[in-house]
């Protein structure tokens, strides 16, 4: 478990998948995630729990100060590059704008840079997801470029913004929200 100021990150438990399914089923969340495919059925997800938790991509549940699962955060070492990770995060719509994403990202960055010898952490975000972009900047990510018109969203192709943070740019003092 990794503890932040207002969140706790822990391994995914089978019961968390019901909450994840509800988050994935929300059209607005999928729109911001750039994923318009409907998730598999709840039964398929539960029946394949062992596959879900044993992927190369690590999933951690984000728990708030009241013990409620508010979303999840993922990370994966990029196989072509040593000590370079890609990060992803999804927060349920009912928990947006409360600082959970920022706290969870900072906690995971501390773990990756301090305990996992990460040199670089990167992510991609849709250009119109300004809330997420602001959050990532507050966590120390820098906009590095974009993949032009690569993701189809609501009738048009949109840009994906590429953001990254290096070990020397990460500051422990930034962990305080």
Taking Cα atoms as reference points, which of 123, 62, 128, 126 lies closest to residue 95? 62
Supply 42's token pair: 């709840």
> Which residue, among 94, 101, 100, has the nearest Cα to 65 in the 3D structure?
100
Predicted TM-score (pTM) of the model is 0.89
Q: Which pLDDT score, from 0 to 100, does residue 142 have?
A: 97
Report the distance separating Cα 175 and Cα 39, nearest Å.
Answer: 33
Q: What are phi and psi of 31, to 5 degrees?
A: -60, -45
Q: Which domains are delineated in the chain? A: 2-175 (3.40.630.30)
Instruction: Encode pLDDT of 30-85 as tens digits.
Output: 888 765 566 667 777 777 777 666 678 899 999 999 999 999 999 999 988 899 99
């Amino acid at each position: 478990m990794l503890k932040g100021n207002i969140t706790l990150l822990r391994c995914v438990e089978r019961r968390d998948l019901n909450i994840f399914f509800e988050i994935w089923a929300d059209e607005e969340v999928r729109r911001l995630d750039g994923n318009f495919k409907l998730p598999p059925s709840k039964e398929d997800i539960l029946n394949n729990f062992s596959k879900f938790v044993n992927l190369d991509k690590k999933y951690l549940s984000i728990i708030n100060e009241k013990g409620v699962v508010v979303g999840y955060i993922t990370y994966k070492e990029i196989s072509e590059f040593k000590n370079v990770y890609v990060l992803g995060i999804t927060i349920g719509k009912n928990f947006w704008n409360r600082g959970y994403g920022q706290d969870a990202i900072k906690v995971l960055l501390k773990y990756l840079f301090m305990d996992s010898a990460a040199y670089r952490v990167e992510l991609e975000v849709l250009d119109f997801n300004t809330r997420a972009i602001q959050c990532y900047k507050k966590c120390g990510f820098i906009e590095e470029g974009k993949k032009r018109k690569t993701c189809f969203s609501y009738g048009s192709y949109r840009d994906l913004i590429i953001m990254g943070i290096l070990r020397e740019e990460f500051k422990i003092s930034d962990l305080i929200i």
